Structure 1
Amino acid sequence: GRHRIGTTQAPQVFLFLLSVSDAIFTGLMVCSSGSMVPLLHRHHQKIQYIHNCKGYHKCSPETRAAHAIVMLVAIFVVFYMLNSILAFDIITLVGSYLWLMYTSHTLASCSPTICLLLLILMDSTVPNFHS
């Protein structure tokens, strides 16, 4: 006979399949973003003489871009993992806890907000009002 998935196993199977696809795509995002850091470093090495002629005393644009990439990916992954843990708790717990759903929604909106603020703070063209 055929093996039927019981009603208690269906959420776990769905959650497992969703987690595997999420892990694959998050890993691809981390790898693609991480591959930009060595590219930016090599580019910085190639054009370093231009920066030396202009008298850059701050971080180069390539270094700032690499830092931004690493920070944005780290923030995304941390908030995504926290949100995934809460989603797992919401699905597997018998009772539907409203505070877990509110916390999950809040975490989901925190990542883009923090990333946007970081990009604004790191942008050298934005006026710095605290100096």
Structure 2
Amino acid sequence: MIAHNIALKIIFFSQTLVGVLGNSFLLGLYVITFFAGPRLRTIDMILIHLAFVNNLVLLSKGIPQTMAAFGLNNFLDDVGCKLVFYLHRVARGLSLCTTSLLSGFQALTISSGNSKWAKIKTRVQKYAFSFCLFCWVLHLGTNGSILVYMKGPKGYKNITKIQDFGFCSASLNPSFTTLISASIISLPDVTCLIIMIWASSSMVLVLYRHRQRVQYIHSHNLFSRSSLEARATQSILMLVSIFVYFYSLNSVLTVYVQFAKTNHWLLNVSTFLAACFPACSPFVLIFNDSQVSKYCLTIWEKIKPPSLY
């Protein structure tokens, strides 16, 4: 039992720390590039938003969960629990929205040789900020029910059907109305997942055709440009695959925990899975997106001291 508690402390603390550092590095890199480097692309603006909301996911759930693992179970009151869980659910939904926008935009980018897709891409570039703002409004509104049923760890004294998160608790009242509300809340998530599946399928098809086509291309410049675009697409495909994998596992586990007897081990696994994508995503971009390396090199060229020779 002691070894289990120590492992929980190390896992949650390490996951939160590493994820926040990775996302903060990307945020800092893009902000510095925005003010001092080359002009940022639309996709970079989307990545800035993704890194920001991923940090919110990690901070809103990782820090309380780490404190709970260290034995601090009563550090939040009712208001604190409501705000922490509300912020986490909003940030998690925004991460899903932004990832779907990212995958959809990249699918349009590599398909923009077609005039119809090129026009749609131009519209997406124009309204990308408006879409992110719409996602904020949507998730701030649809997750309002959390402010009703979340309480502090001792908030439900006389109710038997509660879900104890260690540092907060929630009432469990399965009913037809609850099912309808959950379906409405899940509708934007399902829509985003459908967009990601469509975009991923389109990108895989385009990459397959590209691989066949480049075998007959002998121009070095054209090959280099298309290869960079293919590498960026592969990075985003990797991001989407990681997101869908962990999101699906966490969703299934969350539904099981809500309808089964509360199990702290399963709750800890669910929390870990929910934070896997926000913690992993910045490093996928850092090590696979050549544009990140280009921005780092540009900033270094600007700040390095002049040579004495």
User: What TM-score range do you get, normalising by the shorter chain?
Assistant: 0.5 to 0.7
Residue 119 (structure 1) shift: 1.1
Question: Equivalents in 2 of 1:123, 1:96: separation in Å?
Answer: 41
Which amino acid counterpart does residue 289 of structure 2 have in structure 1? D
Please say if residues 86 and 104 of structure 1, whose CA atoms lie closer than 8 Å, have aligned partners that are also in contact. Answer: yes
What is the match of residue 242 of structure 2? 75
What is the match of residue 98 of structure 1? 264
Please say if residues 34 and 70 of structure 1, whose CA atoms lie closer than 8 Å, have aligned partners that are also in contact. Answer: no
Question: Equivalents in 1 of 2:284, 2:221: separation in Å?
Answer: 29
Residue 102 (structure 1) shift: 1.4
Which amino acid counterpart does residue 104 of structure 1 have in structure 2? S
Which amino acid counterpart does residue 81 of structure 1 have in structure 2? S
Question: Equivalents in 1 of 2:178, 2:267: separation in Å?
Answer: 17
What is the match of residue 87 of structure 1? 254
When structure 1 is superposed on structure 2, of 12-21 and 82-91 the one drifting more is 12-21
What is the match of residue 109 of structure 1? 275
Residue 96 (structure 1) shift: 1.6
Please say if residues 257 and 267 of structure 2, whose CA atoms lie closer than 8 Å, have aligned partners that are also in contact. Answer: yes
Q: For the structure 1 residues 101 and 84, does the alpha-carbon distance in structure 2 shift closer, same or farther, using more than 3 Å as the test?
A: same
Question: Equivalents in 2 of 1:61, 1:89: separation in Å?
Answer: 43
Taking structure 1 as the reference length, the TM-score comes to 0.64
- 2:195 corresponds to 1:23: no
Identity, % of aligned positions: 32
Question: Equivalents in 1 of 2:223, 2:257: separation in Å?
Answer: 55
Question: Equivalents in 1 of 2:200, 2:223: separation in Å?
Answer: 29
- List, as ranges, runs of 4+ consecutive aligned residues in structure 1 with deviation greater than 6 Å: none
Q: Deviations over 1:61-81 (max 9, x none)?
A: 111012112111111001000
Which amino acid counterpart does residue 264 of structure 2 have in structure 1? L
Question: Equivalents in 2 of 1:109, 1:101: separation in Å?
Answer: 13
CA RMSD of aligned residues (A): 3.3
Which amino acid counterpart does residue 112 of structure 1 have in structure 2? P
Question: Equivalents in 2 of 1:91, 1:84: separation in Å?
Answer: 11
Q: For the structure 1 residues 32 and 64, does the alpha-carbon distance in structure 2 shift closer, same or farther, using more than 3 Å as the test?
A: same
Residue 55 (structure 1) shift: 8.0
Which consecutive unaligned segments of at least 5 residues does structure 1 have? Answer: 1-6
Please say if residues 33 and 73 of structure 1, whose CA atoms lie closer than 8 Å, have aligned partners that are also in contact. Answer: yes
User: What is the correspondence of 1:44-63 to structure 2 with a 5 Å cutoff?
Assistant: 52-53=220-221, 56=224, 60-63=227-230
Q: Deviations over 1:12-50 (max 9, x none)?
A: 5544554554322211233245545639x77xx7xx776
Please say if residues 79 and 108 of structure 1, whose CA atoms lie closer than 8 Å, have aligned partners that are also in contact. Answer: yes
User: What is the correspondence of 1:7-46 to structure 2 with a 5 Å cutoff?
Assistant: 7-9=173-175, 11-32=178-199, 34-35=201-202, 38=206
Question: Equivalents in 1 of 2:180, 2:269: separation in Å?
Answer: 24
Q: For the structure 1 residues 92 and 24, does the alpha-carbon distance in structure 2 shift closer, same or farther, using more than 3 Å as the test?
A: same
Which consecutive unaligned segments of at least 5 residues does structure 2 have? Answer: 1-172, 297-309
